[in-house]
Amino acid sequence: MAYRPATIEELAEMIREAAAHGRSLAVSGTGSRPGIGPGAADADLDLTGLGGSIDHDPGELLLTLPASTPLDHVEKLLAQSGQCLAFEPPSPDAIWGLGHGTIGGAVASGLSGPRRPFAGACRDHVLGLSGVTGRGEIFTAGGKVLKNVTGFDLPRLLTGSRGTLAVLTQITLKVLPLAPAQATLLLPADTAAKAVRIMADALMVDGGITGAAWSESEVQLRIESSSAVLPALVDAARARLPASTLIEGDASRALWAAIASLYDHAHADEIIWRCPLPANRAPALAALLPPDARLRLDWAGALAWVLLPAGAADLDVHGLVAQAAGRDGHAERLRGAASAIPARAPLEPGLAALSARVKALFDPAGILSPAAAPGGAA
The site for ligand FAD (CB under 6 A) is made up of 27-33, 36-37, 47, 67, 90, 92, 95, 101-102, 104-106, 108-109, 111, 162-163, 167-168, 261-262, 274, 334, 369, 372
* Residue closer to ligand FAD, measured from CB, 108 or 199: 108
> Which residues touch 263 (CB under 8 Å, ≥6 apart)?
94, 257
The minimum distance between CB 212 and ligand FAD, in angstroms, equals: 16
CB atoms within 10 A of CB 273: 25
The minimum distance between CB 165 and ligand FAD, in angstroms, equals: 8
The minimum distance between CB 190 and ligand FAD, in angstroms, equals: 24
- Which contacts of 313-317 are long-range, i.e. CB under 8 A and separated by 24 or more positions? 313/271, 313/337, 313/339, 313/341, 314/339, 314/340, 314/341, 315/290, 315/341, 316/341, 317/273, 317/275, 317/341
The minimum distance between CB 194 and ligand FAD, in angstroms, equals: 24
* Residue closer to ligand FAD, measured from CB, 208 or 301: 301
> Which residues touch 197 (CB under 8 Å, ≥6 apart)?
none
* Residue closer to ligand FAD, measured from CB, 58 or 263: 263
Q: Could you tell me if 272 and 95 are in contact, meaning their C-beta atoms sit under 8 angstroms apart?
A: yes
* Residue closer to ligand FAD, measured from CB, 116 or 281: 116
* Residue closer to ligand FAD, measured from CB, 168 or 202: 168
The minimum distance between CB 292 and ligand FAD, in angstroms, equals: 22
The minimum distance between CB 235 and ligand FAD, in angstroms, equals: 32
The minimum distance between CB 236 and ligand FAD, in angstroms, equals: 30
The minimum distance between CB 265 and ligand FAD, in angstroms, equals: 9
* Helix (H/G/I), strand (E/B), else coil: 5: coil
The minimum distance between CB 368 and ligand FAD, in angstroms, equals: 8
Could you give the C-alpha distances from 100 to 80, 106, 216, 233, in angstroms and in order?
19, 10, 27, 33
Instruction: DSSP letter for 285, please.
Output: H
* Residue closer to ligand FAD, measured from CB, 85 or 181: 85
Could you give the C-alpha distances from 296 to 274, 306, 337, in angstroms and in order?
10, 7, 21
* Residue closer to ligand FAD, measured from CB, 81 or 355: 355
Can you tell me the distance from the alpha carbon of 320 to that of 342, in angstroms, rounded to the nearest whole number?
14
* Residue closer to ligand FAD, measured from CB, 84 or 108: 108
**Backbone phi, then psi, for 308, in 5-degree steps?**
-120, 145
* Helix (H/G/I), strand (E/B), else coil: 216: coil
Q: Could you tell me if 148 and 114 are in contact, meaning their C-beta atoms sit under 8 angstroms apart?
A: no
110 conformational bin, left if phi > 0, alpha if psi -120 to 50, beta if neither:
left
Q: Could you tell me if 316 and 351 are in contact, meaning their C-beta atoms sit under 8 angstroms apart?
A: no
* Residue closer to ligand FAD, measured from CB, 30 or 244: 30
61 conformational bin, left if phi > 0, alpha if psi -120 to 50, beta if neither:
left
Instruction: DSSP letter for 157, please.
Output: H
